[in-house]
Structure 1
């Protein structure tokens, strides 16, 4: 592996982190699933693999097709915005009407369907036009500037996504002691609700 390849990969890694670290709908969902210790591997895999696929499409030059279909991004924005607002309302409902026994024990318990968690994660990822703009267009265009090293740049960005979501999903269990209290879950759900409703509102306003 040449010095140029390593440099391009590190640049891609840094770019990838800068795009995904900011709190958003996807991060908030992964954090909640990690704190509940429910379907963490599946959720992390969906996020990382989705980003890897979109980054690969961007590096391959698919960005031109995305910009050529603005109506498609508008439709995705409307669907995604409505979905996020609905999810945020459900989170707000948990804040106002907490479920008895919702706190985690020291060992951690989780309920619900892993399939539902995966489908929710897929919707949050693929119904968010910002994901396409960040990965396909932005990462794709930055990778194109690297010439023959564009794939090294893309791999670095994909590894950043994998590292971040793995750390977020499995690192959230460190909060299990704090989340043994129902009041802490209300705070977390409040954060999730505010994030989802805000993101959804922005998507609908820009659609």
Structure 2
């Protein structure tokens, strides 16, 4: 492994983290499931694998193709907005009614299919995922033409590390979320994030 390959990997790692470490619908959902200790492994795996697929697509040059299919992006935009706003409504209802689950209980309130389906929707129905991971990251990877796959490896490592830390590290906050009020505040914050992202998609 040459010095250039190492630098490309580190560049991919840093750029990947800069894209993924932000308050968003996907991260908020992974955090909540981690706090509930509910289907964490499958959700972390789905989010990380999805990112790996998108990263590889971007580095392989799919970004240009995505930009040439505006209809697909438009459908993803409105579909994603509808899903995000709907999820925000559910979060508001949980916050209002106090529908929380003790983090020590080992989640049993949501089925595996529903949890994984929600994670998949939050990932693949978000057009910003394609613009950031496929188009933007793919463009930056061209700065390392001979080592672009090392760049992809670095970005992929960032995604795997982040989702693993977020999903499994959330349990360290279980003491804070032992009280119903903390869950209400969390769901209220998630509702704000989801609603803001949904409206942002609608208004373009």
TM-score by length of 2: 0.97
Partner of 2:12: 12
Quick check: 1:5–1:149 contact (8 Å CA) kept in 2?
yes
Quick check: 1:19–1:134 contact (8 Å CA) kept in 2?
yes
How many residues are aligned here?
A: 203
Specify the SS of the correspondent of 1:38: coil
Gaps of 5+ in 2: none
Inter-CA distance 156–144: structure 2 relative to 1 (3 Å threshold): same
1:190 aligns with one of 175, 185, 188: 188
- Deviation (angstroms), 1:198: 0.5
Note the 1:106-145 alignment, pairs <5 A: 107-111=104-108, 112-145=110-143
Partner of 1:151: 149
Q: Does 1:177 align with 2:175?
A: yes
TM-score by length of 1: 0.96
Quick check: 1:103–1:181 contact (8 Å CA) kept in 2?
no
Q: Does 1:44 align with 2:44?
A: yes
Q: Which whole-Å CA distance do the structure 2 matches of 1:140 and 1:28 have between them? A: 25
Q: Which whole-Å CA distance do the structure 1 matches of 2:26 and 2:120 have between them? A: 9
Q: Which whole-Å CA distance do the structure 2 matches of 1:145 and 1:103 have between them? A: 47
Quick check: 2:101–2:107 contact (8 Å CA) kept in 1?
no
Q: Which whole-Å CA distance do the structure 2 matches of 1:108 and 1:149 have between them? A: 46
Spell out structure 1 runs of 4+ moving beyond 4 A.
none
Q: Which whole-Å CA distance do the structure 2 matches of 1:200 and 1:171 have between them? A: 27
Q: Which whole-Å CA distance do the structure 2 matches of 1:103 and 1:35 have between them? A: 9
Partner of 2:159: 161
